[in-house]
Structure 1
Amino acid sequence: MKNLWNSIVNSIKGIKSWSDFATKANLTIEVIRRIVLYIIAGLFVMLSLTVGLGFGYVSALTNQVAVPSKHEMRTQLQDVNNSTSLYFADKQKVEDLQKTLTGKRVSLDNVSPYLKKAVVATEDSDFYKHSGVEPKSLFRAILSDITGIGTQTGGSTLTQQTVKMQLLSSETTWKRKAVEIFLAMRVDKYFTKDEILEDYLNAATLGRNNKGQNIQGVQAASKGLFGKDAADLNLAESAFVAGLPQSPSIYTPYDNKGKIKKDISLGMKRKNIVLFRMYRDKKISKAEYNEAKNFDLKGDFLKPDKAKNKKIKYGYVYNLLTEQTRTILIKRLAKNDGISYKALKKDKSLYQKYYTQADTELHNKHYRVDSTINKKLYNDLNEQAQGFQDNLGTTHTDNATDPNTGKSIKVKEPVQNGSVLLDNKSGQVLAFVGGLDFKNSQLNHAFDTQRSPGSSIKPLITFGPAIENGMIGSQSMLADFKTKYKKYAPTDYGETIQNRFISARETLEESYNIPSVNLYNYIRQNGVSSKQYMEKMGINLSDDEYKQLGITLGGTATGVTVLQQASAFSTFANKGTHVNPYVVDKITDPTGKVIYQHKHKKKKVFSKETSYIMQNMLHGVVTKGTASALSYESNFSTKNLFGKTGTSNDYRDNWFIGSTDGMTLASWIGYDNFYGNNYNLASNSTDINQELWSRMANAVYKEDPDVMNVHKKFNRPEGVSSYKVDKETGTNTGTIEYNGITSKVNQHTTNSLYYKGQPKNMSYDSFAIGAKPKNYRLFWNNYFGRNNSYGEVKQLGKNSKSAKEIASENGSGRTSGFSNSTNSNQSSEVTTSGDSSTNSNSRGSTNSTTSNGNQETGTGSGNGNNRTSSSNSNGTTMTDESTGNSSGNNSESNTGSSSTSSGSSTNSGNGSSGVMNGLIGGTE
């Protein structure tokens, strides 16, 4: 190019005559012509390349899109003024979701001719000429989008807008635009212009009506703005409605309360623009234009009115299915865009985008959601819970500050219930109780509140792993003496100690705390991590929580939901396999296509042998332990029922979870303490919750006995071994040396179940987990006839109640007897021998035990700050100034090994967030 220019310059300098000039000029013109041709050719090549790349890009994107059939497109295009329908498991409808847009579909014949002309003139003047896409408009929009110059809304035809509203999401990516073009051309091919225009007129969002509702479609706009049908709109009214789609929130004359805005000038200007375009396109005459322009439209608007509130009968089901379906759609939308749900959760703004998109889909598209909830069983459970609510405890009335208005209000704090009925084999949630009064509290206490599980967590976090790893058998002995791990000093229920050795079986039956803590410490010190088991069962705790010994008593930082506990507990009924629980079974889109079908997810947690032993041990809980009342409160056979109770400190939470072969039913009761109150349950809350559980279980059994399958036995696997052991030591019978004399120990025997492992040989001082030398001395002296304090229940705190009172208020009522799980054949496999002891006088009434174990004082971990001073039911005043989480350091424990201790803390309820902060150890 440089040489060419130099040549031109030199030629000009060499001109000597007009003939030379003419020759040179012709040469210059030819050179310039060639340059121009080269530039044009280059631009053409570049344009061709760009177009080719564009078509290639569009082709690549559209190849990733499932091509909808004509039927599918027709269904979706006409799917307006609808919302998602929710169904019970038996195909009975729960409810249609409340629509965010209100409207009614109308045929094109019933739309004013003025309105049809106004929309076409305003939105797409070449609508009847193009094939769904207008190339020049599209090019203008792309250029505007790249350069940022000019409007960014001029590229969409009416067909494209209809496709965007009805077939696509509202995102503004190049990919969506490419798919939009592809589908618009397909829609134009299959449907007439009038069909497309009708779909547009019914789908367009058109601001608010005089009730403050968002409206969709021209019929709703006509009725909501002017009180007339779309067919009866005059020219000015038609022009106003036609101008709304560009920016409905700005041009609409009403606010969200249905009141006319102070300034509606922008809407009026937009109306005049529409009229001008109609006049420009010769759709109306100049006289019609002037008359409509000067029409008093403001006086035509309707006066404000109130919208009727729709009552929802099944509020908890409605909210639960809406929430879970929305989450499923969010995951699906993100996956379609190549974004993982895990990554999405980390980006709040991006998550909100998909949340809004999914929510809009739910409320404005006619999806169908089929759930697992059995309507009859749901009604049965809730009728029992609501009918029993007056017995659950005191309803407190207090003054509080409304967090929204800051005003003082009177509030009621009733005892709440959250319950879940789970099908063990499938994981289906058959029914649940979200709360006792949806009108007063929409918080779902079965799915959304996290509370301390108390001792109901013991089988999951401690005893199951111990059995699985062959560390104990059902009759292995655990120490229940005064103990301390650094600053952590657990006690049994009522701040007591049993002052004796207790079998693993009885520890669960009576829910003693100290033996459970000793066992948890023991398995941790021997390299067994409970975390791997808990996570497989759907319960995720932090590493710091696992370090706290109080975790075995329910001392979690945030707590667990009723669903989580029920699901985890069902693992034992499923022979050690955990099945993920679920509520949404299937989602069908408006075309009838199933877009989601639940897939069962199973994980092996425990062996079938461990599960059987746990079932066997926990059966004693309902025959003679802390839930023995169920044996006469239930209207069905409890021969194959097993379960576990749980209470957190100061009776803050109370649980019972029971399982048969067919189902698991979990019930929790407690106060929300929404406004910072510190209300706790009554001391007899265990009996109350069990009666509620039995009422619900009886109703389920009456409605459908097959759900419970109470007559199905849990057969003993071949891998479970039964050993005859000494009842007092849990070891093989044998001899020991006592006071220099070798003595035979075999007076009382029983059977102990093992998976892996086997009983230890008889010894003087190594048969009990968590025992100190002085504990062994006390035991053997008592065994060989000395009258000492072994087996006498001792109170360590200020509790003024007797052991008998403590036992009777909280479960089985056992107050005396060396009740080392001497089980009948009906209650379990373990039986005692018929031998009698010559030293039985020392193991009779002196060996008192509390009935249900066991409230610990200052047990568990916790991360909550609760600064409320309160007196518990035992008369002990506690000022909750602790921050919890005082984990302490490793210290020498009863076994001589090191352990991590838990800090002292009491729990603080935070019902408003559904989370218990600073939760602590369970009491029973």
Structure 2
Amino acid sequence: MLKDHNSGPKRRKRSSPTTGNRSFFGRLWHHIIEFFKFPELALEPQESRRATLVYYFNITISVAKSLFLHILSFLLVAGMLLVGVGLGYFAALLSKESVPSYETMKTSINSDYQPANLYFADNISLGALQTNIVSQPVSINQISPNLTKAITSTEDSYFYQHKGVVPKAVIRALISSLTGIGTQTGGSTLTQQLVKMQLLNSETTFKRKASEILLALRIDKYFSKQEILQAYLNAATFGINNKGQEIAGVEEAAEGLFGKTAATVSLPEAAFIAGLPQSPSVYTPYTSSGKLKKNLKIGMQRKNVVLFRMYRDGKITKQQWQTAVKYDLKKDFQSQGTKTTQTKRYGYVYNLVTKDARNILMKQLYKKDGLTAADLKNDNALYEQYYEQASNLLNERGYQIHTTLNKAAYDSMQTVTKNSSLGTTHHSTATDSTTGKTVKVTEPVQSGSVLLNNKTGAVLGFVGGTKFSLTQINHAFDTSRSPGSSIKPLLVYAPAIQRQIIGSQTKIADFKVNFNGYKPTDYGKTIQNRYVSATDALKYSYNIPAVNLYKAVKKAGSVKSYMTKMGISLTKKDYSQLGLALGGTEYGISVADQASAYSTFANGGTHTDAYVISEITDANGHVVYKHHAKKTKVFSKATAYIMTKMMRKVVTEGTASTISSEATFDTSNLVGKSGTSNDNRDSWFVGSTPKVTLATWNGYDNFYGNNYNLTDTSGTVTDQYWTKMANAINDSDSSVLGTSQKIKKPSGVKSVSVVASTGMKSGTITYDGSSTSVTGTKVKSLYAGWTPDPTKYHFAIGGTSKDYKAFWKNYFSGNDADAALLGGEVTGSTNTNSSHGIGTSQGQ
């Protein structure tokens, strides 16, 4: 029987060349071959393909192993290179840092919180800087073991094991600096904290961190752990005590918080004290007034953390830990005490020297960190940071601050001010802008004076105000007022002489003027209606000649460079206005700047910056700062000499002539200039001998919106006050004023005989159609390196055609000596002075 082809056992289907009936790994390998497109392998038998698989697998493992070893080698080399770069970076940062000696380090780490001491010149003590920090160092044997254990467990558990630093912290600092990831390294050891407190400061630049690490290693090498711990416990800060004072050191902490010594504190008390250094202002139990805080929870929690760490380190037993945690510590805190007040002597000096010293130290700190004054000006947080650092140095490092102030001269100036009546004291009421309450206001005439050495710039004395208890504002250095006519020598006459525009007898017009609506007059709203010499114009402080001359000087170029070199800062708006010639400014000038600028004339045309602090040394006598004079050439010696000759007339014949008659010292070499601003708001006199300059200002503050002015006799009052002060200075120390010194005539000064009426040499002019000689009475005129031309028709600075026509008519009418005076008298004017700023001169 034939069988049906469809019957019988079914045959297994042949495997597909692509799917087949392979194992999982076989199929995986097939897909790998397909992925990488190895057709020659796909055609091989299955056994051969497996062998090939093993072959390629071994190669892959070999390559991976080789690659891993290469990567590992690279990382090791890179790591060593990184360490090398890091060590090189450390070395570069510290290459210029001096290594402190053992004695220096010993003194530094053991120095307690000593405020700076201030000195007058010649090392005469002024007193110590007042600080709110109290400190009382003790030896390690006078500190309870409870405290030493608590501090080490809290601040540095491995204190007794490491060598000053923890290596991983150093590596972390290095990586942080090189990679730029993070700026804080953290984990400072107790030794590093001591270095930061006593040898460096809290700034976190990497250079300082590098110094901190290396100094910590050095300290650990030369000092025992007990010595380091003792220094730390005496230097660390612990918040505020019950009198509202800042605490430094564990002895003051124990007494200020618990009324005990550091040797007798209990375990809970020690734990509380040990927890404070991490954040004293947060954990302290007292407010700034010394009152116990209502909520002490955060401080108690910190205390418990300290206790646990002590237990964890095996320094206390479990029972001691638990008992101390449960203890009610609040009852041990002292009640509020009374802070001992200090009487501040020499208040104005104290404030000025403190401010200047802080600024000096701030500058040193930010310059060391590669910053500029502009950086701090644009970043308040940065400014506050360096302000605090500098303040800490003054409050804690025992600096010695030496000033230039002559105590005898300074005291005599204060005595004269105290006993002088400068004007009416006004009493009124006003609204306090801070509280909104009505307050009683007392407004006396205030005063500011500065005495300085012309050659060195050293400030020898000053008057900050009439009464420090009434106002602490320093009117000598910190306020700016309209200079009035006292600006004329600086801004107008000296630049005019320097630019060879005038000589001492050059004529300047004093006629009615109108400069685009600006109509200045002389003092008392008068006009001279004549041509006056430069010397007479300055001597009598005529306003119109000063404005005419300033206009001519401005035409020759800005005078800003002269003023800036003399330390006077004015605005662009100031320079644009002719009223500046009479003292019209937006913000005014300080007394100190006026004195410093005027010293330029007596110093041969060279300006030397004024200064008060001559030197700052640390507690060991090492110089921290020393003043170096900055000299700037402003005018030629000839210009300076001619100016002194012209200003000499002010005190012998002009607006300040009473000074010569009332002075008790030799005034034969005294020169100066007075100045009064609009409505007698400000009154000045600046006088110089060849050795010193004394500048004085009087006026009202008007801080509460009042509008008090001085009287019409204010110029005389100021001159008399200045004279009394100069007399007193000379009586206290006859060497100060240098009255016997003289200024020698420089070779650059040309003395020329000129016609008194024209201020030029004899000459010939064309008048009324004819050539006519101009001669007459002659006077000596001084010039800075040049000589004038013969007289010409337009011989003066300023004046209109009408003015010249009238002059020559008068001259050729037969008058000579009075030829410059039209009509023979001074006429009045209804024109008023335009302020063109915060004030202008009244011509005195």
> TM-score, normalising length from structure 1?
0.82
**How far, CA to CA, are the matches of 1:372 and 1:512 in structure 2?**
37
2:513 maps to which residue? 483
**SS at structure 1 position matched to 2:417:** helix
C-alpha change, 1:265 and 1:753, in structure 2 (3 Å) is: same
> Structure 1 residue 775 and structure 2 residue 803: aligned?
yes
1:115 maps to which residue? 147
1:362-511 equivalence runs, <5 A: 362-388=394-420, 391-511=421-541
Q: Specify which of 269, 272, 279 is matched with residue 247 of structure 1.
A: 279
> Structure 1 residue 156 and structure 2 residue 188: aligned?
yes
Q: How big is each residue's C-alpha offset from its partner over 1:262-308, in whole Å with a ceiling of 9 and x where there is no partner?
A: 22111111111111111222212222222222221100001112312
Q: How big is each residue's C-alpha offset from its partner over 1:453-507, in whole Å with a ceiling of 9 and x where there is no partner?
A: 1111111111111112221111111111110111111111111111111110000
1:915 maps to which residue? none
2:13 maps to which residue? none
How far has the Cα of 1:63 moved from its partner?
2.1
1:825 maps to which residue? none
Kindly indicate whether the alpha-carbon contact (under 8 Å) linking 1:570 and 1:659 is maintained by their aligned counterparts in 2.
Answer: yes
Q: How big is each residue's C-alpha offset from its partner over 1:131-173, in whole Å with a ceiling of 9 and x where there is no partner?
A: 1012245557888999999997851111011111111121223
Structure 2: unaligned runs, 5 residues or longer: 1-27, 34-40
Kindly indicate whether the alpha-carbon contact (under 8 Å) linking 2:757 and 2:817 is maintained by their aligned counterparts in 1.
Answer: no
Q: How big is each residue's C-alpha offset from its partner over 1:656-679, in whole Å with a ceiling of 9 and x where there is no partner?
A: 011111111110111111112211
The amino acid across from 2:160 in the alignment is Y
The amino acid across from 1:398 in the alignment is S
Kindly indicate whether the alpha-carbon contact (under 8 Å) linking 1:455 and 1:646 is maintained by their aligned counterparts in 2.
Answer: yes
Structure with bigger gyration radius: 2
> Structure 1 residue 612 and structure 2 residue 641: aligned?
yes
1:158-173 equivalence runs, <5 A: 158-173=190-205
**How far, CA to CA, are the matches of 1:858 and 1:14 in structure 2?**
116
1:257-406 equivalence runs, <5 A: 257-388=289-420, 391-406=421-436
The amino acid across from 2:627 in the alignment is H
1:138-149 equivalence runs, <5 A: none
**How far, CA to CA, are the matches of 2:342 and 2:664 in structure 1?**
39
2:713 maps to which residue? 684
Q: Report percent identity of matched pairs.
A: 50
- Please say which of residues 203-212 and 643-652 is displaced more in the overlay: 203-212
2:261 maps to which residue? 229
**How far, CA to CA, are the matches of 2:626 and 2:223 in structure 1?**
32
2:18 maps to which residue? none
Q: Specify which of 532, 539, 547 is matched with residue 517 of structure 1.
A: 547
C-alpha change, 1:407 and 1:311, in structure 2 (3 Å) is: same
**How far, CA to CA, are the matches of 2:740 and 2:189 in structure 1?**
67
C-alpha change, 1:177 and 1:838, in structure 2 (3 Å) is: closer
1:724 maps to which residue? 753
Q: How big is each residue's C-alpha offset from its partner over 1:688-710, in whole Å with a ceiling of 9 and x where there is no partner?
A: 00111001110111122222221
**How far, CA to CA, are the matches of 2:438 and 2:77 in structure 1?**
75
Kindly indicate whether the alpha-carbon contact (under 8 Å) linking 1:208 and 1:255 is maintained by their aligned counterparts in 2.
Answer: yes
Structure 1: unaligned runs, 5 residues or longer: 787-836, 863-906, 908-918
The amino acid across from 2:639 in the alignment is T
Q: How big is each residue's C-alpha offset from its partner over 1:575-619, in whole Å with a ceiling of 9 and x where there is no partner?
A: 111111111111112342212111111122111111111111110
C-alpha change, 1:21 and 1:571, in structure 2 (3 Å) is: closer
Q: Specify which of 616, 619, 629 is matched with residue 590 of structure 1.
A: 619
**How far, CA to CA, are the matches of 2:205 and 2:79 in structure 1?**
23
C-alpha change, 1:712 and 1:19, in structure 2 (3 Å) is: closer
- Please say which of residues 63-72 and 737-746 is displaced more in the overlay: 737-746
**SS at structure 2 position matched to 1:176:** helix
Q: Specify which of 688, 704, 708 is matched with residue 659 of structure 1.
A: 688
**How far, CA to CA, are the matches of 1:197 and 1:403 in structure 2?**
51
Kindly indicate whether the alpha-carbon contact (under 8 Å) linking 2:760 and 2:790 is maintained by their aligned counterparts in 1.
Answer: yes
Kindly indicate whether the alpha-carbon contact (under 8 Å) linking 2:757 and 2:816 is maintained by their aligned counterparts in 1.
Answer: no
Kindly indicate whether the alpha-carbon contact (under 8 Å) linking 1:421 and 1:429 is maintained by their aligned counterparts in 2.
Answer: yes
2:109 maps to which residue? 77
Kindly indicate whether the alpha-carbon contact (under 8 Å) linking 1:458 and 1:552 is maintained by their aligned counterparts in 2.
Answer: yes
1:647 maps to which residue? 676
The amino acid across from 1:425 in the alignment is K
How far has the Cα of 1:85 moved from its partner?
1.5
C-alpha change, 1:861 and 1:285, in structure 2 (3 Å) is: same
Kindly indicate whether the alpha-carbon contact (under 8 Å) linking 2:429 and 2:440 is maintained by their aligned counterparts in 1.
Answer: yes
The amino acid across from 1:649 in the alignment is N
**How far, CA to CA, are the matches of 1:279 and 1:15 in structure 2?**
70
**SS at structure 2 position matched to 1:90:** helix
**SS at structure 1 position matched to 2:553:** helix
C-alpha change, 1:156 and 1:848, in structure 2 (3 Å) is: same
Kindly indicate whether the alpha-carbon contact (under 8 Å) linking 1:855 and 1:923 is maintained by their aligned counterparts in 2.
Answer: no
How far has the Cα of 1:37 moved from its partner?
5.8
1:882 maps to which residue? none
Q: Specify which of 633, 658, 672 is matched with residue 701 of structure 2.
A: 672
Q: How big is each residue's C-alpha offset from its partner over 1:621-647, in whole Å with a ceiling of 9 and x where there is no partner?
A: 000100000111100121111100011
> Structure 1 residue 753 and structure 2 residue 801: aligned?
no
1:809 maps to which residue? none
How far has the Cα of 1:860 moved from its partner?
5.0
Q: CA RMSD in A?
A: 3.3
Kindly indicate whether the alpha-carbon contact (under 8 Å) linking 2:196 and 2:212 is maintained by their aligned counterparts in 1.
Answer: yes
**How far, CA to CA, are the matches of 2:526 and 2:353 in structure 1?**
46
> Structure 1 residue 204 and structure 2 residue 204: aligned?
no
The amino acid across from 1:421 in the alignment is L
1:511-590 equivalence runs, <5 A: 511-525=541-555, 527-590=556-619
The amino acid across from 1:183 in the alignment is L
C-alpha change, 1:675 and 1:45, in structure 2 (3 Å) is: same
1:634 maps to which residue? 663
> Structure 1 residue 857 and structure 2 residue 832: aligned?
yes
**How far, CA to CA, are the matches of 1:139 and 1:513 in structure 2?**
73
**SS at structure 2 position matched to 1:261:** coil
1:778-793 equivalence runs, <5 A: 778-784=806-812
The amino acid across from 1:775 in the alignment is D
How far has the Cα of 1:43 moved from its partner?
4.5
**How far, CA to CA, are the matches of 1:717 and 1:31 in structure 2?**
92
**How far, CA to CA, are the matches of 2:104 and 2:684 in structure 1?**
50
**How far, CA to CA, are the matches of 1:309 and 1:201 in structure 2?**
27
How far has the Cα of 1:745 moved from its partner?
4.5
- Please say which of residues 142-151 and 317-326 is displaced more in the overlay: 142-151
- Please say which of residues 46-55 and 63-72 is displaced more in the overlay: 46-55
**SS at structure 1 position matched to 2:690:** coil
Kindly indicate whether the alpha-carbon contact (under 8 Å) linking 2:482 and 2:840 is maintained by their aligned counterparts in 1.
Answer: yes
How far has the Cα of 1:311 moved from its partner?
1.4
The amino acid across from 1:254 in the alignment is Y
> Structure 1 residue 51 and structure 2 residue 83: aligned?
yes
